Amino acid sequence: MSRTVARALLLGALVVLVAAFFAFDLDRFTSLGALKEQQAAAEAWRAAHPWQAAGGFFALYVIVAAASLPGAAVLTLAAGALFGVVAGTILVSFASTIGATLAFLSVRVLLGESVQRRFGARLATINDGIRREGAFYLFTLRLVPVFPFFLVNLLMGLTPIGTATFAAVSQAGMLPATLVYVNAGTQLGRLERLGGILSPGVLLSFTALGLLPLVARRLVEAARRRAVYRPFAALRPPTFDHNLVVIGAGSAGLVAAYIAAAVKARVALVEKHRMGGDCLNTGCVPSKALLRSAALLADIRRAPRLGIRAASAEFDFADVMARVRQTIAAIAPHDSVERYTRLGVTCVQGSATITSPWTVDVTAEDGTRRTLTTTHIIVAAGARPFVPALPGLVEVTPLTSETVWGLTALPRRLVVLGGGPIGCELAQAFARFGARVTVVETATRLLAREDEACSTLLAQAFAEDGIDVRVGHTARRVEVVDGEKRLLVEHAGTTSAIPFDEILCAVGRVANTAGYGLEALGVPVTPSRTLEVNEVLETRFPNILACGDVAGRFQFTHTASHMAWFASVNALFGRFRRFRVDYRVVPRATFTDPEIARVGLNEQDARAEGVAYERTTYGLDRLDRAITDGATAGFVTVLTAPGTDRILGATIAGAHASELLTEFVTAMKHGLGLNAILGTIHTYPTMAEANKAVAGVWKRRTVTHGQHVVLTAFHAWRRGAGGVGGVLAALPALIRDRRPVEPRPPTGG
């Protein structure tokens, strides 16, 4: 039997059951008045047939609870009146759990999959919470009678909580309230209405029950803390030298230390290499400096397109790399020891080892050691390039995004392993300097996490730059034959060799989770090889937090800085209030030419998550400023919730895409839609007008044929070419013809 047929049969059975319940006026038997009228007869029948009465009552209760029919409360009272406190509580406890579980499963079968497919993105936070602490949430709801039990059954059926967990927790959580109701049922003769159960004393009992899980949670957390810290209790110092010790002076560590110093906490910042971390020394800054020089060469070669008959440039690659180093030196004072010392941060040079939850040993280059004591520790150790275990690769000393900056001569032939953001940026830069570049990517296209249109646009640009793109190729091994280095790749069952002088690994980064003591403390690592932290960035030890690449699912400099604020504030003020990290609006950009920038969902993510959307696209070849600049390659694509202007995500491909994206980031962060962007004045002529233009395309698609008919009749009447009757005659079209004047954008989900 197919799932569709099963759903249809289940729905039909529920409809028949509910219809019969009301058609035969069975609800009259579930009222308090009817129960009191039939009490004597029911008790007599129960005395004569105890097992039949118990079985029939049990079955009736299961049906009422499973179909979410009214009367469960009255039946619970009846259990007390007919069977007494002990037997009545046992009957109702198990019958209500079985009925609740059947209702739970019915909703899951009928609606669970479709609800998650349609609203999965919006329910992501709730789903994560249910997976982590669903049992606790359910137990709380069961103990508080303000939440109708049948409603809890239905809503929980839409979440990922396990059936066994739901049944077990429901059994335990409903027991106290069941006992209260059954006990009240034994006094049925004195009850005039259901509200009589809720006397001040009973209400106070329910309030206590509602507070019980909250108190229990605090007690459990305290017990967990004691258990975690117990092996290290003897190492806890009586006093502390610092409020915070930050390990790692990259983007995350610098921001965390800055915030701590700004609020007058005593903070130490430990760094074993160079201040500024990867971003300043081997990442964002040097790569963008290199890309700028490469872009100038590309513009010179394209000079005829701008009316310049001939242009040329002479350069030495060593001079280019010298400029890269000068750029790093110019920015370095922003992240220097001197600056942070002036801010009040104690900067410590050396390798850090966490020896207890409150102590950090630092070993300097000369071997001297010092111990820092602190109430809290923030780990911001960053990440490093991943070098795959490819046979023969280590022997040829591959380049990475850390070591490539040591080059002083341009490689004649360069192989780039990886078609992601780092690989694509460096491949294009070296190609523009004159290297013969080959990109090898296992996936079927470049930038596989972006929409296919972005990959296609970039592939066209790479072809223009003379880059040999080998997508769908798997690297098998590196060999040296007669002094020539070769990479052997496999594609469609065929192996071929790619000769090279240098090979650059750009296949991802690995968090630095080891080497500074967390292994000895038993801090776990996630399957994605980052430190395991909770929603407030605490590790297994609540006073040891982590942020940035070492703990983040987004390995971006700006995300590391964003996380650092939460880590620092939670470490210093978490006793009073803790803040969950907000990952809802995270922008990203790949600084190729054209640039690829995105915030929120793109189409492939929306389809994968089952999120319904409408797509609106505006081509830059229609934008005046793009035409004047000769930068017409690219587009702006916005995904909106169907029928609204709410932005689900935006993807921009083209010149200055990373800058243009900011408007959509701001709009999404503050809940603004496309109407707000459309109503904002944009300077003419600028590339930013593309954002307003795409909003205009979306707006035009909201106008229907019916509206056009009415507007045409109205303006004809204003010209005297038609009467009021013409306008009135057009009104039915306004209601009837809702087809958009322009075709609706593609809809997914």
Which of 573, 608, 626 corresponds to the end of one domain? 573
Q: Could you give the CA distance from residue 330 to residue 318 in angstroms, rounded to a whole number?
A: 18
Residue 135 falls within a domain, yes or no?
yes
pLDDT mean over 698-717: 71
Query: What's the average model confidence in pLDDT over 401-430?
Result: 96
Tens of pLDDT along 62-113?
888 887 776 677 777 777 777 888 888 888 889 889 988 988 888 888 777 7
Residue 669's CB: how many other CB atoms inside 10 A?
Answer: 13
CB atoms within 10 A of CB 317: 17
Residue 234 lies inside a defined structural domain of this protein = no
| Digit-coded pLDDT (tens) for 574-591 | 989 999 998 889 999 999
Q: How many domains does the chain have?
A: 5
Q: What is the pLDDT of residues 636-650, one digit of tens each?
A: 999 999 989 999 999
User: What does the pLDDT read at residue 749?
Assistant: 45
**Cβ neighbours, 10 Å, residue 365:** 9
Average pLDDT, the chain: 85
Q: Which domain holds residue 10?
A: 3-216
Which residue in the block uniquely carries the two structure tokens 């980052």? 530
- pLDDT, tens digit, 9 for 90 and up, residues 361-371: 999 999 999 99
User: Is the per-residue pLDDT at 213 higher than 60?
Assistant: no
Q: What φ, ψ does residue 415 adopt, rounded to 5°?
A: -105, 130
Contacts of 333 (CB under 8 A, 6+ apart): 339
**pLDDT tens readout for residues 256-298:** 999 999 999 999 999 998 999 889 999 999 999 999 999 999 9
**Would you state the pLDDT for residue 441?**
97
Residues 71 and 182 grouped into a single domain = yes
Q: In this structure, are 281 and 201 located in the same domain?
A: no
Tokens of 211: 């507070």
On whether both 501 and 515 belong to a single domain, the answer is no
- Residue 635's CATH number: 3.30.390.30
> Would you say residue 475 lies in a domain?
yes
Of 180, 201, 216, the last residue of a domain is 216
CA gap 744, 485 in Å, rounded: 54
Model confidence at 34: pLDDT above 60: no
Cβ burial of 670 (10 Å; 0-12, 13-18, 19+) is exposed
Are both 44 and 174 inside the same structural domain? yes
Same domain, 349 and 432: no
Q: What is the pLDDT of residue 56?
A: 83
Q: Quick one: DSSP state of residue 111?
A: I
Which segments of 332-408 does DSSP mark as H helices, in order?
337-343
**Same domain assignment for residues 303 and 170:** no
Look at residues 489, 505, 521 and tell me which one is the last residue of a structural domain: 505
Q: Is residue 446 part of a domain?
A: yes
Whole-number Å distance between alpha carbons of 175 and 47: 26
CA–CA gap between residue 314 and residue 532 (Å, rounded): 51
Tens digit of pLDDT for each residue in 461-474?
A: 999 999 999 999 99
173 within some domain: yes
Evaluate whether residue 225 is within a structural domain: no
Same domain, 500 and 518: no
pTM of the model: 0.76
- 8-state DSSP, 641: -
User: Do 693 and 544 sit in the same domain of this protein?
Assistant: no
CA distance 232 to 639: 52
> What is the structure's pLDDT at 201?
47
The CATH number for 340's domain is 3.50.50.60
Domain shared by 205 and 97, yes or no: yes
Asked if residue 162 and residue 56 are part of one domain, the reply reads: yes
Residue 230 inside a domain? The answer is no
Tell whether 172 and 191 lie within a shared domain: yes
Give residue 466's identity as a one-letter amino acid code: G
Co-location of 7 and 106 in the same domain: yes
Q: Is residue 226 part of a domain?
A: no
